[in-house]
Amino acid sequence: MRAKTPSWKMTLRVTIGFLFFGFVIYYCGNFIMESRNKKLNRGLSGCFLDLIGGNIVKKISSNPAYNERLFLQIRKQQLFSSMEIPYIKTPAIKHISHEDYKLFFEMDFIEGLSFDEFCINADDKSLESFYNNLYSYIHSLKSDDYYSENEIKEILQAKIQSLEKNTQYVDVLSMLSLKVQKCNGGLLKSFCHGDLSCLNIIIKGDEIYFIDFLDSFVDTPLIDLIKLKQDLKHYWFLSSVEPDVDVLKIKKNCDRLWMKFENDFKFLLDSPYAEILEILNFLRIEPYLNNQKQKDFLKCIIELL
């Protein structure tokens, strides 16, 4: 007995089914890639990040003039990768080159949680583990090296002068200049991430990955603490997250974390330079802001400080 030949209707149904399934796979794949690229490009530097093949991130300089700064950031990331700090890592850099006169580098893509995603679902144990890992990192930045009083004052005055061209807070800078003159003593000098905001932290299981290192104008662990304070106390990073997140829970966990940092690193935060560096940190962000919401938020913080 001959097998029954499928009718044209059955063939059409099967074809439509395959086409629909392929469309769903394509659409979901594109949605995931777009979501990942959106998370990658939440920074303010102007550099562009692209996800290649699902496992490599390509970071491209915003313009040829930025190449030197990006190279210094690459070197800092490479240096950090050689440091052995339990549970703190950074993506491995795979390739460095140029295209259209712009520097770029490629590194591993880390499939993990952004800080806001982690914070929403964090229980007491995971929050404690997260804090302990960051505590170990900052504690590891101990050094016998210090900026002398004259050296740090010169650096701060130069930074204040460089910001005067692109700010509406010239009076604040003048006030900071006077504060610098009245400061006494030096400042601890050591490696630092340079831009340790919550947006530059990825959580994967028990491990924390640092990304987007910055060539800071001064290298001290106080810079990293100030960047954490920017987000954990002032909630700056919330201006870059999706509007439908549970903001109240995130703020509650941020408060708990900052209370610990403030207590455990009081000896650093009590530095006479801490307030100056904190205000300079926010004024350094000002030229990169591209929406009124962030500009208004910055104004509120500056007035608060």
Hey, is 106 helix, strand or coil? Answer: strand
> Domain ends where: 55, 86, 108?
108
**Longest CA–CA separation in the chain, Å:** 102
Task: Specify if 1 maps to a domain.
Answer: no
Which pLDDT value is given to residue 5?
Answer: 58
Do 155 and 32 sit in the same domain of this protein?
Answer: no
Backbone angles phi, psi at 56, to 5 degrees: -130, 135
Contacts of 114 (CB under 8 A, 6+ apart): 39, 199, 201, 202, 203, 241
Domains of the chain: total: 2
Mean pLDDT of the chain: 88
pLDDT tens column, 61-118:
999 999 999 999 999 999 999 998 999 999 999 999 999 999 999 999 999 999 999 9
Measure the CA–CA gap between 155 and 162, rounded to whole angstroms.
11
- Supply the CATH number for residue 61's domain: 3.30.200.20
Do 138 and 264 sit in the same domain of this protein?
Answer: yes
Task: Specify if 2 maps to a domain.
Answer: no
Quickly state the pLDDT bin for 163 (edges 50, 70, 90).
very high
Backbone angles phi, psi at 144, to 5 degrees: -95, 0
Do 117 and 261 sit in the same domain of this protein?
Answer: yes
Backbone angles phi, psi at 173, to 5 degrees: -65, -40
CA atoms within 13 A on the CB side of 280: 25
Quickly state the pLDDT bin for 33 (edges 50, 70, 90).
very low
Which pLDDT value is given to residue 304?
Answer: 86
pLDDT tens column, 103-140:
999 999 999 999 999 999 999 999 999 999 999 999 99
Do 295 and 169 sit in the same domain of this protein?
Answer: yes
> Domain ends where: 91, 108, 125?
108
Do 76 and 54 sit in the same domain of this protein?
Answer: yes
Quickly state the pLDDT bin for 7 (edges 50, 70, 90).
low
Task: Specify if 146 maps to a domain.
Answer: yes
**More confident: 14 or 195:** 195
Task: Specify if 4 maps to a domain.
Answer: no
Do 217 and 267 sit in the same domain of this protein?
Answer: yes
- Supply the CATH number for residue 142's domain: 3.90.1200.10
Which pLDDT value is given to residue 142?
Answer: 87
pLDDT tens column, 190-229:
999 999 999 999 999 999 999 999 999 999 999 999 999 9
Do 52 and 136 sit in the same domain of this protein?
Answer: no
Q: CA angle, corner 70, sides to 39 and 48, nearest 5?
A: 30
- Helices vs strands, H then E, count in the chain: 11, 10
Task: Specify if 5 maps to a domain.
Answer: no
Is residue 91 within 8 A of residue 109, CB to CB? The reply is: yes
Quickly state the pLDDT bin for 32 (edges 50, 70, 90).
very low
Do 133 and 258 sit in the same domain of this protein?
Answer: yes
Measure the CA–CA gap between 89 and 155, rounded to whole angstroms.
30
Residue range(s) defining the domain that contains residue 250:
113-304
Of 124-138, 164-178, 283-297, the one with minimum mean pLDDT is 283-297
Do 99 and 158 sit in the same domain of this protein?
Answer: no
Inter-axis angle of helices 170-182 and 149-163, to 10 degrees? 170
> Domain ends where: 108, 142, 177?
108
pLDDT tens column, 239-275:
888 777 889 999 999 999 999 999 999 999 999 999 9
**Burial classification of residue 136, based on how many CB atoms lie within 10 Å of its CB (0-12 exposed, 13-18 middle, 19 or more buried):** middle
Measure the CA–CA gap between 258 and 274, rounded to whole angstroms.
16
Residue type, 181: Q
